[in-house]
């Protein structure tokens, strides 16, 4: 389990583990990752090339067929990520990194800067591929696909996620 919020969807030999910051209230209530109507994760994943069709949130486990996994850094569901405190990231840092080490994906992708910044101790985190490894894996920081994230259009999200897809395919 990813804590009290959502069950991890993980396996061995994954190309990438997508790491949400924490579950939204709707996702936690429904028991499926990125279940909010306004969340653009599943559409972005499809348009970026990860899946041949758009997966429905209720079919989130099928993402494993595409060598992708899902987890949340902090298990506690909230309406907004700014409702999390730094101590919540600190409390899970070691166990979260150990989880990534155990799964050993080719890449780990943090969806939004907040979780990676907290776990890495960096004040400024650039978008895209990072210099440092996390849990022994190369890191990508991608824009959060939440519908609340108005700084990124659907096209912006697809472009960012597609860069990771192309790195996996290389």
Asked if residue 132 has pLDDT above 50, the reply is: yes
Residue 8 lies inside a defined structural domain of this protein: no
Residue 2 lies inside a defined structural domain of this protein: no
Q: Write out pLDDT tens, residues 138-170.
A: 999 999 999 888 899 999 999 999 999 999 999
Asked if residue 1 has pLDDT above 50, the reply is: no
Q: Which of 161, 155, 125 is nearest to 142 (CA)?
A: 161
CATH of the domain at 105: 3.40.470.10
Q: Write out pLDDT tens, residues 65-90.
A: 999 999 999 999 998 888 999 999 99
The number of folded domains in the chain is 1
Residue 56 lies inside a defined structural domain of this protein: yes
Alpha helices in 6-85 (DSSP H): 25-30, 41-48
pLDDT for the residue 3: 43
Instruction: Give residue 2's pLDDT band: very low, low, confident or very high (50, 70, 90).
Output: very low
| pLDDT cut 70: percent of the chain above it | 98
Q: What is the extent of the structural domain holding 154?
A: 16-169
pLDDT for the residue 4: 63
| Mean of pLDDT values over 10-34 | 95
Tokens describing residue 21: 């910051």
pLDDT for the residue 147: 86
What is the residue-averaged pLDDT of the chain?
94
Q: Write out pLDDT tens, residues 101-119.
A: 999 999 999 999 999 999 9
Residue 124 lies inside a defined structural domain of this protein: yes
Residue 47 lies inside a defined structural domain of this protein: yes
Residue 6 lies inside a defined structural domain of this protein: no
| Mean of pLDDT values over 36-54 | 95
Residue 104 lies inside a defined structural domain of this protein: yes
pLDDT for the residue 135: 97
| Mean of pLDDT values over 118-127 | 95
User: What distances in angstroms separate CA 44 from CA 103, 123, 147, one per listed residue?
Assistant: 24, 27, 12
Q: Which of 164, 127, 133 is nearest to 149 (CA)?
A: 127
């Amino acid at each position: 389990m990813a804590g009290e919020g959502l069950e991890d969807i993980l396996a061995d030999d994954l190309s990438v583990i997508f790491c949400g910051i924490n579950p939204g209230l709707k996702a936690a209530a429904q028991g499926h990752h990125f279940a909010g109507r306004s969340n653009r994760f599943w559409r972005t994943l499809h348009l970026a090339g990860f899946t041949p069709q758009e997966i429905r949130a209720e079919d989130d486990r099928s993402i494993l067929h595409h060598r992708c996994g899902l987890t949340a850094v902090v298990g506690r569901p909230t309406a907004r990520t700014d409702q999390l405190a730094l101590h919540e990231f600190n409390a899970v840092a070691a166990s979260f990194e150990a989880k990534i080490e155990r799964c050993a994906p080719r890449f780990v992708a943090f969806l939004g800067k907040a979780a990676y910044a907290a776990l890495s101790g960096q004040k400024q985190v650039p978008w895209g591929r990072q210099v440092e490894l996390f849990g022994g894996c190369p890191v990508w920081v991608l824009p959060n696909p939440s519908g609340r994230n108005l700084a990124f259009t659907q096209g912006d999200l697809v472009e960012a996620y597609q860069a990771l897809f192309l790195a996996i395919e290389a």
